Amino acid sequence: MKAEADHPKAPGSKADSKPDAKDNLQTLPLSEVEKKLGSSPDGLTQAEATTRLKQYGPNEIEEKKTNAFLKLLSYFWGPIPWMIEVAVVLSGIVRHWPDFFIILLLLVANATVGFWEERQAGNAIDALKARLAIKARVKRDGKWVTPPARELVPGDAIRLRLGDIVPADARLLDGDEISVDQSALTGESLPATRKSGDAVFSGSIIRRGEIGALVYATGGKTYFGKTAELVETAVTVSHFQKAVLKIGNYLIMLALAMVAVIIGLGIYRGEPILTVLQFALVLTVAAIPVAMPTVLSVTMAVGARLLAKKQAIVSKLVAIEELAGVDVLCADKTGTLTQNKLTLGDPFCLGEITPDQVILAGALASQAENDDTIDLAVLGGLKDKQALKPYQVTHFQPFDPVHKRTEATIKAADGSTFKVTKGAPQVIQELSANAAAVKAAVDKAVNDFAARGFRALGVARADGDGKWQLLGVLPLFDPPREDAKSTIATAAQMGVKIKMVTGDALAIARETAKVLGMGTNILDGATLGDSKTKETTAVTKSIEDADGFAQVFPEHKFHIVDVLQKHGHIVGMTGDGVNDAPALKKADCGFAVSGATDAARAAASIVLVAPGLSVIIDALKESRKIFQRMNSYAMYRIAETLRVLLFMTLAIVIFNFYPLTAIMIVMLALLNDGAILSIAYDNVTYRNQPEAWNMRLVLGIATVLGLVGPIAAFGLFYLGDRIFHLGHPQLQTMMYLMLSVAGHLTIFQTRTRGPWWSTRPLCLRLVSRD
């Protein structure tokens, strides 16, 4: 493959005909790569990028979409359509032309409705996926911008940070080495170290560090041929869907048993075999939940659209059903329970160090362009905004969850150099030479700050090649969100226990929990094991009873979720960082909170685009409504199938009378189920308890309704046949109308948990408002 076939060539350069030119860009010296790409660490101009985008196409893998016409034809293929099609053929053979054309029309209508509804659901999911598309930090016209990653082109200079998903194949520019997680691409369990000049591949995740990179391959021309998918659609079958599918199988078996009775009796009585087979086929069709897949997909898609309006984007549709059963929510403190708007308090200083000196050292160890809330708070604490001008940062090491600190090498105006660092107090103390002498005073200051709800930040300095000296402690206050307390109370009323999970000190966690009314039974993360630990009964009980967890590491979060799940809880988890990803994926329903990293969003089931917990409460309410709609449909479908099958079978066996024609049965099956699609939009009242699939209750209620139906049907049949002496066609018409109306009324009985009139349907609500 030629170089210019895959990559832009430098202006005026000659074609490179080497077959492995693409691989050369991965291994050539960086200066040669820049020449071949016609670019530099300063990036491209917007005009150049636009031209290259037209030439090389978007940075995405072309998705093969099924032809719409072929998709429509697929609705005529499968066990259910086959049965209806055989019924059409049998109608033609016995020359029942009205039945032939009406059944054919209903077959086409059912396929068209199913195709349209699934297409609408697919469009909704595509729209949600577009909102979740990752963005890249790219240098264009000398300025950093954040266009969608699909607009990247070879030659672009990008910036990679902790938690980013690498958007394209790129060569690392000058900077410190980084740690890259390639497990999703290569299966390697441990992150790989990459330094300046090395290649990083599309789809891998930055686990540590920050560095610039030069894109050399995009889209289908990347090394692995595809980028990491951020969104999964409804491919996985959830517990609830499995239960509904079991109901479908049960109904089919019931239908086949009764149809076998009808066929055997028809043959025994000497009835025309084709007529008996046609009737048996359409009766089987009536028992099969024809619209079940459509009802499921439409209900899920409608729920996803409603949640999107409430700032919760569903990336895995089955999470909506799982969320309905969540009874424990492990919530991150910063930015979820608190405002994530840090303000700097009065520093604690050691010896003759002044507050301004501590703040200045902390500010020098911060970077405004990182848009980090802690860095911005420290920089905002400077009284003199020009105080940083005499200093030049020659090297900066960003924060990472392992080292828990930032570090900068500084060159002063007089030419001297020194280093400054800020981070977790215990980390800075371990680093400092004077830690032993000041430990008691520093610990007291940290505890005093924590008792008042302040986070503490240690600050140290090292002159030249000298040892680190602890300067003092910066207090940072992150006030609770205004809606947090009421939201936690609402969750408790809904049967959901919210547990705080934070890396902050125990005292801070207790103070915050106390203010929010969560309880103060906070466990220290250091006392917990990891995913390989099998906790004792006592420890497990303490995790279940805890109001929260402090000083936790990523492995603790995963372990907490695992222990709770093993003891019967349906667990939700919020997170925002790359190290939250395992716990988010482990949880039954993972939430990536507002501002989360790409890695966290990729692991989560639901992505929140608005801060706080109130969005999750809205999602809980909506998921429980969706569960109730599905519950209603399941009971309706069982009851209606029992009603029709029992009535038809008993009428044929006892009275030797076919109460419905074949065409009436098909109309009853398809038109009733088509109307039930409206349940996806129905107005329902959610329960203030986590939902769980109660098959015994569903089957019990449905069976009662299914047995009462034939009694009423035979009563009407008796009146029409024995009292009013109606003819067979009139009796069949009357019974069809009765079963059709009764089927629609059944949904009114199954859609509410109280009296059927307790909750008005959505259509009645709309009429009353108009």
Q: What pLDDT was estimated at residue 79?
A: 61
Q: Cα separation of 398 and 390, whole Å? A: 22
Q: With 90 as the cut, is the pLDDT of residue 329 above it?
A: yes
Q: Do 690 and 497 form a contact (C-beta atoms < 8 A)?
A: no
Give which of 273, 263, 279, 321 is closest to 296, Cα–Cα.
321
pLDDT in tens, 344-381: 888 999 888 899 999 999 999 988 766 677 888 888 88
pLDDT band at 13 (very low <50, low <70, confident <90, very high): very low
pLDDT band at 290 (very low <50, low <70, confident <90, very high): low
Percentage of residues of the chain with pLDDT beyond 70: 81
43: Cβ–Cβ under 8 A, 6 or more apart, which residues?
A: 138, 139, 140, 142, 155, 156, 157
Q: Cα separation of 20 and 26, whole Å? A: 10
- Beta-bridged to residue 550, according to DSSP, are 524
Q: Do 713 and 731 form a contact (C-beta atoms < 8 A)?
A: no
Q: What pLDDT was estimated at residue 231?
A: 35
Instruction: Please calculate the CA angle 464-466-467 and round it to the nearest 5 degrees.
Output: 135
Q: What pLDDT was estimated at residue 188?
A: 52
Full-prediction pTM beyond 0.95?
A: no
Of 76-80, 201-205, 327-331, 463-467, where does mean pLDDT reach its minimum?
A: 76-80
Q: Cα separation of 575 and 603, whole Å? A: 10
Please indicate whether residue 587 or residue 297 has the higher confidence score (pLDDT).
Answer: 587
The average pLDDT across 508-521 equals 87
pLDDT in tens, 566-612: 888 999 998 876 667 788 888 888 888 877 766 677 778 888 877 77
Q: Do 194 and 168 form a contact (C-beta atoms < 8 A)?
A: no
Give which of 272, 284, 282, 108 is closest to 661, Cα–Cα.
282
3-state secondary structure at position 225: coil
Q: Cα separation of 469 and 723, whole Å? A: 104
Q: Cα separation of 79 and 698, whole Å? A: 26
Q: Cα separation of 440 and 456, whole Å? A: 15
Q: Do 562 and 531 form a contact (C-beta atoms < 8 A)?
A: yes
Q: Cα separation of 509 and 331, whole Å? A: 12
Encoding tokens for residue 626?
Answer: 């969706």
pLDDT in tens, 242-286: 666 677 677 777 778 888 888 888 888 888 887 777 677 767 766
Q: Cα separation of 37 and 333, whole Å? A: 45
- Helix (H) or strand (E) segment spanning residue 501: strand 497-501
Q: Cα separation of 553 and 473, whole Å? A: 22
Q: What pLDDT was estimated at residue 286?
A: 65
Q: Cα separation of 321 and 624, whole Å? A: 8
pLDDT band at 201 (very low <50, low <70, confident <90, very high): confident
Q: Cα separation of 284 and 692, whole Å? A: 30
Q: What pLDDT was estimated at residue 328?
A: 94
pLDDT band at 419 (very low <50, low <70, confident <90, very high): very high
Q: With 80 as the cut, is the pLDDT of residue 67 above it?
A: no
Point out the residues that are catalytic: 332
pLDDT band at 547 (very low <50, low <70, confident <90, very high): very high
504: Cβ–Cβ under 8 A, 6 or more apart, which residues?
A: 333, 334, 455, 512, 550, 551
DSSP code string of 528-539: ---TT----HHH
Report phi then psi at 196, rounded to 5.
-50, 130
Give which of 529, 139, 166 is closest to 369, Cα–Cα.
139
* Mean pLDDT of the residues in the chain: 79
Encoding tokens for residue 244?
Answer: 């509904």
Encoding tokens for residue 142?
Answer: 């000398």
- Beta-bridged to residue 417, according to DSSP, are 411
Q: With 70 as the cut, is the pLDDT of residue 89 above it?
A: yes
CA distances (Å), origin 114, targets 107, 333, 634: 11, 44, 19
